[in-house]
Structure 1
């Protein structure tokens, strides 16, 4: 009964991707509200990077849910698995990264290179995801793309995680070993000047898989519970709202932490790292468990067709909301503002421009970015995804692809 139950389609898990992406968006532009909210509210909004933790726990859950009971460490299985992961993640990332460096070559905008003098080599580091291991490079190119290095590390590790969990048990020892490895790497390479490779604890704990692995493992464990017990449960705890409240309680704790020198948020403090990496993900898992097992108003909202579409296109939104695409939109609104005031001068009127207010311009950018994300999803990402899955890339396609079967949780 449990295996049959878990094969239902849950659109809310797609809609929650949009929620996560929008939280990250707010965390990157909270400063626009400096003159509107008290300082602590600004700090609170600045810790909405929790959307990244939502993505990580969700990835751990989904990959485990899809593959845990049918993985085989064979060349054939791994090629099919890798093909599915490449089809889902890589095409849009590679395309938008190349566009980011084309934008740099045209504009010389150093937000892309962070002052590094070899942009071609930097582009290679970005395209191959290697930049995510180097403190000097982690926020170059598409800055927020560092999280994809973390995701890819999990994708490659997942089959080994499953094998060890099934064959040897002791599941909870795995993230302890990975974190210990990260600490040892920092102790070694903090003394070596190699472009910041594993060079400091805040970087490694917040921006690499070895520091963030516990979030994925929490998602893995949630999937193991659901695979074992299904969606039905007997207790009446409303996990959806309990998890939701606890998530933002973690945000508040991080908002009250002192910001370390050279960093930008409370999450980078020692207490912030602990809350973000080890407590927040448990709250996220409770939230997900509620979405899976309860019919709440929030689940219905996240399952609305339009919200589901926003969730499907949220990966592209996440990749373009910060960086070259946003910069182009920002320059466009500045140009429109100047043009409007030129018209007002000609007309001899003293009116407000619809583009002179930063908060309105941020709203315009949010809407435009979502529209662009939906168009790119429908015209490029989704067709390429299907094409690669059906192609002979890595392995000839077979109808038994686990992600195209009756299991449709997203």
Structure 2
């Protein structure tokens, strides 16, 4: 193979598809140096991408809201066919179609042994935790591409048991790399269970996945809040109730109109640090959603926070927020004895079980998030439409393998 087409960040609001070298069975030099190991990665495989998705986390970089450099490769939602296998890979074979957790994990450190694969200690010299194609996440090449290298393949890959069945449900299965487990993690860590009333902030793909997951977990009522009408209508297609945050009135009052009381049993923040205040034309106010979910969650509730918060935001509204310091009413959460769960979803804790639900026909997640397939060269358009508020999960099909 002579090259590899890949989506790259070219400055605020701009991405392009560039040609880079075909991937080698090697880990990034900075990771190898930090681990004290060779770059050669006989534990790795090369995947031919079957599907790779545009994520809201990618949009934060593309909007210029992170410290991502020009040329940063993109893409951490990866599903692919194994086409090259390292000598130390034992259980993954050429031709296997696999889901790749967006967390890169060594499978050997203390955190991996505890199941906390989102904060692996060996794959990122800068901090705990790594991901493909993301700023400050270890320098790993992105997966919005034709081909990608996956390290520690026996540990990281989730092999689909039947190739034909996988291709038939590939639009659902592609969500296993990130948003389905992430949404499920948000609902699960919020304590959603049989009969729960739930509020999900944000009707983007992760918020929709969280709402869908809350239903799988047995919630009696799921309310989704957003400021974009098309996204709220998408939530309603699978039985959610909605609140329009672009209109006047408090969130608590809006919830009371639906439930008869201003509180819910569990809440999920699927928005993150680019949150806005309420009302038409509201300005950015990054602590809004965190304060909202504390306000409308009952005493003793748990709060799932899969929405992204960063330590460096050059486009923030003030100097404190540029360093990740935002005006959270922690006293409110303390007074109500709330429990908070934040950070990357440890995808491997959930992806196999969710795969089984998909293959059994019990989780039509692609329909819930309104999946739409585009070609690799159409990625810039997909980013633009998603940034404009499209109620769509864009799935890139680099090789025309999706029926």
TM-score by length of 1: 0.28
Greater strand fraction, Structure 1 or Structure 2: 2
Structure with greater contact order relative to length (CA < 8 Å, sep ≥ 6): 1
Greater helix fraction, Structure 1 or Structure 2: 1
